[in-house]
């Protein structure tokens, strides 16, 4: 059975999400990460002091309650520059399980 192409892996411009849709996807993903960070045990957070956990939790509040003032440039920087460290720490935690 042939599956539909993944729009995030294709170079087809008709299949790629619009800029507004991409922004929504990034915001929603950050919101989910933010909420999940609130449920992490303090011991885990202490193992990764390079992550600004207070800011990780706080960005979710901004996205939920002050979304009309979220700057696209801020979200772009967060997605491109700041999430790498969080991803690396998450992968390290999963590798230790």
**What is the pTM (predicted TM-score) of this model?**
0.74
Residue pair 89/52 in contact (Cβ under 8 Å)? The answer is no
Q: Which two tokens stand for residue 57?
A: 């939790």
Number of Cβ atoms within 10 Å of the Cβ of 27: 21
Percent of the chain residues past pLDDT 70, beyond the cut: 86
Q: Work out the average pLDDT over 23-32.
A: 91
pLDDT tens string 35-69: 999 999 999 999 999 999 999 999 998 888 887 78
pLDDT at 8: 54
Side-chain-side CA neighbours of 16 within 13 Å: the count stands at 10
């Amino acid at each position: 059975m042939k599956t539909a192409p993944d729009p995030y892996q294709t170079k087809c411009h008709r299949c790629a999400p619009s800029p507004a849709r991409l922004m929504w996807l990034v915001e929603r993903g950050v919101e989910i990460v933010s909420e999940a960070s609130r449920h992490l045990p303090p011991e885990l957070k202490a193992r990764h002091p390079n992550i600004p956990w207070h800011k990780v939790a706080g960005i979710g509040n901004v996205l939920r309650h002050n979304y009309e003032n979220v700057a696209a440039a801020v979200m772009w920087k967060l997605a491109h520059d700041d999430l790498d460290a969080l991803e690396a720490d998450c992968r390290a935690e999963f590798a230790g399980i």
